[in-house]
Amino acid sequence: MAFHKHFITISNVVLFTSFFLSLFAPKSYSSKIFASAASYFSDKDLLEFPLNLEYLEAEFFLFGSLGYGLDIASPDLAQGGPSPIGGRLAQLDPLTKDIILQFGLQEVGHLRAIKSTVKGFPRPLLNISSQVFATIMNKAFGRPLNPPFDPYANSINYLLVTYVIPYVGLTGYVGANPMLQNTTSKQLVAGLLGVESGQDAVTRALLYERKHELVAPYAITVAEFTDRISKLRDRLGNAGLKEDEGLVVPKDEGSEGKVSGNVLSANTNSLSYGRTPQQILRIVYGTGSESIPGGFYPEGAHGRIAQSYNNLHP
């Protein structure tokens, strides 16, 4: 099919580009936004924190492609943590299912890689139900979508919620890199960042080819969905900075001010954005506060970093 041929070409270009972004982006993030966190958290803390996101991605992608998660696929990595809420098999076309399964298995590898370097912690309670994603979409549009958005209903819906997740992890790794002290930690994060950026690039490429398509039954384009999701993440992150962009932007905000297409989200020098752990928690909790759990983590994220913020509001 034409879509598959075009996708293979564009994804190769995007993945190649994302690889180089992952190599060069960290050099641009030694600014004061990360300074206080760098002095407070150890490498161990900074390596354990992303386990929260890796658990989320692993469960979401495995359930979406296989209909089950870590409890069957790799129970040792869950370490007895509670089973996720609401995960189920998505109705995906063969190409999308193949890609999402690969993503899920990649996340299993990420969990193993991190836990082979630091002790880690059991899987936190995760909510990957249709309801939590519907709430995210309602917040993104500032009104309830009717019918409620169901990420598991079809491929385009699933890809749109996939757009929500890996990019958050990508920006977290970019943000963590300058705070790390030893070479082993930096090497691990560089490897994780390379694959997370690849997942985000593949997702954006798939959606970019369909950017003008109307998402049924809402009569809203794919591009507008991505724009609304990106703006929501920026609002929730609450850093006063633009660190997120949809698939189409004003021309003066595109690469070198020459294009409105935005297959990769990046700053004016085409370097990846970075986020602090506080910003990550504000987004994945869906509350805009690092100390008020919710969203994907109804009981809060785990690890010293997340718990230090949860303790602000016992």
**pTM of this prediction?**
0.87
Which residues have CB under 8 Å from 170's CB, separation 6+? 193, 196, 197, 200, 272
Lowest mean pLDDT among 63-72, 114-123, 262-271: 262-271
pLDDT, one tens digit per residue, over 197-213 is: 999 999 999 999 999 99
CB distance 222 to 210 below 8 Å = yes
pLDDT band for 28, please (50, 70, 90 cuts): very low
Model confidence over 93-151: pLDDT tens digits?
999 999 999 999 999 999 999 999 999 999 999 999 999 999 999 999 999 999 999 99
| pLDDT tens digits for range 293-304 | 999 999 999 999
pLDDT at 310: 78
Burial 148-172 (b: 16+ CB within 10 A, else e): ebbbbebbbbbbbbbbbbbbbbbbb
So what's the pLDDT on residue 40? 77
| Cα–Cα distance measured from residue 157 to residue 97, given in angstroms and rounded to the nearest whole number | 13
Q: Is the pLDDT of residue 81 over 90?
A: yes
CA distances from 190 to 40, 156, 173, 205 (A): 22, 30, 8, 22
The C-alpha R_g of the chain, in whole angstroms, comes to 18
